[in-house]
Chain A
């Protein structure tokens, strides 16, 4: 019998209570020895839903999908040792793409730490470079506070993954509960800057207003700043009349059907977006980080422009590209301030110059850079995505992708009208991301149509999650563009390595229809362009997890393309654009 003054709650129960207080609804996880007390606490309550994945990497990707599609923090629970090491890829992915994740890892009891105990790994050591922050909780008295702090760190500033390592004895010891702070947390050393410097807002408005050839370049920071930031961006773009392009991570922050939208920029971005970036005189970067996929050759990147960079992370500023005006702050707040000042000042934009700029952009747009050669015999991957989009556009839908050619085609051919609808592994480029991410999205949006656009190679990297999909009856659709190659690898081998397709052929592929069947999902196959529409319709109508094996043209390459080491104005527009395809030695080294 416990005496009344004795704290009656175990660390594991405290943890569950803390998660509930942090408004967590779903935890993606996989049990094991070190986390058994937590699983026991989960068993005794019904506020938190646990989704059992089949591999810890998938737990993190599912949490990422959940987080990215809802704006909430995704929560992961894995055991010590292999549980934690398997989560590392997901954590790195979340770090690169600024996704808020709290990952709870089990740990051996404190007295065994450092003894090479069974399923021991130095989790805080291993995850230090792939998390925004991590904690090793050594005393049960620190547990609840660490959890609240972890959620604050994960979702504030530039979001990212946070690991809490929980030794088993800490989970079993007892202590009283510490509720999350009622007012906004003020951390003693961590104070992200969200409010921009008003003087810089004034300067920015002046620079924007005086531009002759402006372009907005908007990235994932806008998505992270919440749906309101996307609305504000759209307002500002409309108010100025300027063109706007999105990064891969920023798709959906501006409606794709809007005539001021130039499409995605970067390595496989549109001709008009990249040439606008190259030829602009004022570039307004909001929430993007001048990634190497965006800039191409840095020395030739947008040579004549003044650059404004809005970012919540001061370390993103002047990292790759020197900018003329840096504004540190939350993208949403900065946009709000910019709009306020713009509306107050009513600046006169040089309409004549803007008209000439748009006329130039329209000539680039007229090149129709995404055009491909239609074919009646084989399904072109681009065609497959066009048809897919046709059938889903009026439905409440979410798209995830794996990594490779199919990902770039999805970014080019699917149109995103709203934020939080597009989940893709941008920074890390993780094959195997899309399917578990789709499961996380489906958990958050049970009624929505969730589609993972995949390649036949990527999907095999987390195919075991079909079992998770079946268990929770998650009707996720896997749309495999099966070209029997690791397509992007093959494309680079063709362009850079003399067509020596070393190990990029997808040998011994399984029969995806039978795979689906074996896991209790539905499998469909289509290799005829004439039957594609019917297959897609059938896929959408099925209330099951579905794999659609779309057999596509094996040799199709993804264009347009900025070859590595080249500049934005040195794009390859298609397979016939060979003479400029010479890649420099310097470019060969780049990935």
Chain B
């Protein structure tokens, strides 16, 4: 596969005006133009300026990624679009809540692994735990994988939030 047609994942930060319909605009752009969304998170980050920050992980050829960024930047309520993947080192985190049901040795093993992954117990019943695990996607994925054999019953994930390293703001 040539360099131009290789599909790569990019993490894109979008600073937007927090106004009704903004998420629909962003999501509609992706579905309408046939782009992929691997992960999407959004929340208000600056209440005074009424700004929200969206983190999108998307996949595509370099030409498609360039298009995605240009199309996002074209939306009227979008302040800034930054491709964290190409703009230098950045950190990514996601959070998952993982519910595990079981008793006896499995329950103990789950707790032990949670400790290894620095997952917190945030709910406990005599036959269940809810763990909160934070980390990059790999770590979260691995933890969930391990829990599958130990009575995993439910998972919820936030999707990725990301930020560049160093002192610069978006």
Residues of A within 8 A of B (CB): 124-125, 128-129, 132-133, 136, 153, 187-190, 313-315, 317-319, 322
Contacts and interface: CB of A to CB of B under 8 A. Distances in A.
A315 B70 contact: yes
7 contacts: A124-B21, A136-B21, A188-B17, A189-B17, A189-B78, A313-B74, A322-B63
Minimum-distance CB pairs A-B, first 5: A315-B70, A133-B76, A189-B79, A190-B76, A314-B70
Contacts of A188: 17, 79
A318 B74 contact: no
A266 B2 CA distance: 29
Contacts of A125: 21, 24
Interface in B40-89: 63, 66-67, 70-71, 73-79
Interface string B10-33: 000000110011001100110010
A322 B62 CA distance: 11
Given A318-B63, A318-B66, A128 B28 contact: yes
Contacts of A315: 67, 70-71, 73-74
A129 B74 CA distance: 13
A138 to B, nearest CB: 8
Given A136-B20, A189-B16, A153 B76 contact: yes
Given A128-B28, A187-B76, A189-B78, 13 more contacts: A124-B21, A125-B21, A132-B76, A133-B75, A133-B76, A188-B79, A190-B77, A315-B67, A315-B70, A315-B73, A317-B70, A319-B67, A322-B63
Contacts of B21: 124-125, 128, 136
Contact of A318 (B16, B67, B76, B77): B67
A188 B32 CA distance: 26
Contacts of A317: 70
Contacts of B32: 129
A132 B79 CA distance: 16
Contacts of A189: 16-17, 76-79
B74 to A, nearest CB: 5
Interface residues of B, number: 21
Interface of B: 16-17, 20-21, 24-25, 28-29, 32, 63, 66-67, 70-71, 73-79
A88 to B, nearest CB: 14
Nearest to B4: A322
Nearest to B51: A189
A172 B23 CA distance: 30
A103 to B, nearest CB: 15
A153 B76 CA distance: 8
A587 B70 CA distance: 29
Contacts of A133: 75-76
B65 to A, nearest CB: 11
A129 B28 contact: yes
B29 to A, nearest CB: 8
A192 to B, nearest CB: 9
Nearest to B79: A189
A472 B126 CA distance: 82
A194 to B, nearest CB: 15
Contacts of B74: 313-315
Contacts of B75: 133
B14 to A, nearest CB: 11
Contacts of A132: 76
A322 B4 CA distance: 11
B170 to A, nearest CB: 13
Nearest to B50: A188
A128 B25 contact: yes
A189 B24 CA distance: 17
Nearest to A320: B63
Nearest to A317: B70
A457 B25 CA distance: 36
B166 to A, nearest CB: 25
Contacts of B28: 128-129
A190 to B, nearest CB: 5
Contacts of A124: 21
Nearest to B80: A189
Nearest to B68: A315
A146 to B, nearest CB: 11
A124 B22 CA distance: 11
Nearest to A149: B76
Contacts of A129: 28-29, 32
